[in-house]
Amino acid sequence: MIKTTAHALAAAALALLPLATAVPAHAAETLSLHDAIEALPHAAESRDGYERSKFKHRIDEDKDGCNTRAEVLLAEALTPPAVGPGCRLTGGTWFSYYDDTIIDGPSGLDIDHMVPLAEAWDSGASQWTAARRQAYANDLGAERSLVAVTARSNRQKADQDPAEWTPPAADAQCTYLSDWVGTKLRWSLTVDRTERDTLRQLAAGCEDTDVEYERV
């Protein structure tokens, strides 16, 4: 009986090993939006050499048949969609907080990289390995790194930073600033002077907004 129990405990410990290796190296942090902006590293931006193909995205990391787009849609659905063969999603409803819009069905949605791939490149990702760029482009480990929004709002935003674009919905701005700054801190991305100054100005109306992030 003792030997059987020991074997069972050993098996249980082995089963937990993958979970242990998945724990991020850095603890979660919470800062006020003001302090989070001041914590962002400052550097000039450069888009030299950028190609979207250098960020491999829409992968199926856990091999369950659903790629990154589908995983985000499933996670953010207000009403869950039906999941068919090949992870084809039908039905369901979503809330696009950029423009305060309810969307029926997945076809009208884009998955937005909170900090666009081109902006990430400008802000430090040009120096990353291909593996880290892939991890960034498919970041399901933070709730707001990727967000389902209307295709219209995503395409209006394109690769612009908050100095050039913020969501049109009046109630979205503070959430958006928190998500943007949190994503940059999570991935140790920089801001240039114009972006930093704009973030400071916009954050003046978000006194009770915090930024939660976990570095990777």
* Per-residue pLDDT reduced to its tens digit, 127-137: 999 999 999 99
In this prediction, residue 6 carries a pLDDT of 38
pLDDT at 42: 97
In whole angstroms, what is the distance from residue 173 CA to residue 165 CA? 10
Does pLDDT of 67 surpass 70? yes
What is the share, in percent, of the chain residues with pLDDT greater than 70? 88
What's the pLDDT score for residue 189? 98
Beta bridge mates, 32: 210
| Band of residue 205 on the pLDDT scale cut at 50, 70, 90 | very high
Banded model confidence at residue 25, pLDDT cuts 50, 70, 90: low
Give the residue extent of every domain in the chain: 26-213
What pLDDT sits at residue 14?
Answer: 37
Q: CB-based contacts of 14: which residues, under 8 Å, 6+ apart?
A: none
Q: What is the pTM of this model?
A: 0.87
